[in-house]
Structure 1
Amino acid sequence: MLPRLKQLVDEIAPLHSKLILLIGSPGCGKTALLLEFAEQAHVSVMNLGLKLGARLARLPHKQRRLQAGHLLREIADEHASGDLLLVDNIELLFDASLAINPLDLLKRLAHARRVVAAWPGEHREGSTGARLIYAETSHPEHRDDSLAGVIPFFIQT
């Protein structure tokens, strides 16, 4: 799996949107693959929840919604190794109080650099095509997004 991911990361460099999502069921090895890739590439994996959460905690609740996207770009710029950013633990982006679109934020980061992120939700095929799902429909953090502009990397257990 690692050689295939390395090849894909190399191939996406010239694309406009350079976002690879590692997609698989919980416990399938997304984080382990990210860490193994990071070791081979001599970079580190950004724990988005930890980094962004620490910065958001310093802000008043009303400011968090307005600053989340800006803070994420700032953290990504600080953490990226050249044109590569590896991201894990993105669940904080789905917090309904932030009122942001997590996938759009990741796509915007991927215009400036190659981004490989572990997707905490699931993939479903539907009547409108492939979808990325996060949380159940009745949950306040529920997301249902198209795979458009994303390069999926499926991990089977």
Structure 2
Amino acid sequence: MIERLEKLVDDITSLNSKLVLLIGPPRSGKTALLAQLSQRRNVPVLNVGAALGRQLLTVPSTRRHLQAADLMKDLTDETARQGLLLLDNIELLFDRTLLLNPLDFLKRHAHARRVICAWPGEVRDGRLSYGRAGHPEYQDYGINGLVPFEIK
């Protein structure tokens, strides 16, 4: 599977949007696959929940939504290597109080560099989702402008 992902990472270099989402059920190996890619490419994986969470703790809660995108941009700029950004544990981006659109945020970053991200949701009937319908953080998206990499 890692060989298939590495080929895809190389193949997307010329695309306008270079976003690959690793999609699979919990414990399907998304994090392990990112770790393998990290080791092979010598690029660190950014644990968004841990890194952004630490940064946001220094910001008053009433201002977090104003600074979240800039803090995340700084973190991604520090972590990306060789035109490649690896992201895991992105659930914090869905926090409604931060007022972020996680998929748009990822797509914007994928114009400048290849972004490989473990997606904490699923793809079904050509739609990408996070959470379950009715949940406050539920999101539903089309898959245009990204490359799904499904893990069974």
2:147 is aligned, of 133, 139, 151, to 151
Unaligned runs of 5+ in 2: none
Residue of structure 2 in register with 1:138 after alignment: 134
Show CA shifts across 1:87-146 (max 9, x none).
000000011111211001011111111000000011111xxxx11111111111110011
1:70 aligns with 2:70: yes
Separation of aligned partners in 2, 1:145 and 1:58: 32
Identity of aligned residues (%): 53
Partner in structure 2 of residue 115 of structure 1: 115
Distance in 2 of aligned mates of 1:146 and 1:53: 28
1:11-26 equivalences in 2 (<5 Å): 11-26=11-26
Structure 1: 5+ residue runs without aligned partners?
none
TM-score of the aligned structures, taking structure 1 as reference length: 0.94
- 1:146 aligned partner, one-letter code: G
In 1, Cα distance between equivalents of 2:141 and 2:23: 13
Quick one: distance in 2 between partners of 1:135 and 1:4? 28
User: Partner residue of 1:44?
Assistant: 44
Q: Note the C-alpha offset of 1:82.
A: 2.2
SS for the counterpart of 1:61 is coil
TM-score normalized with structure 2 length:
0.97
Q: Matched residues in 2 for 1:43 and 1:100: separation?
A: 26
Aligned to 1:55: 55
Query: Aligned ranges for residues 91-110 of structure 1 at < 5 Å?
Result: 91-110=91-110
Question: 1:50, 1:118 → 2: CA distance?
Answer: 15
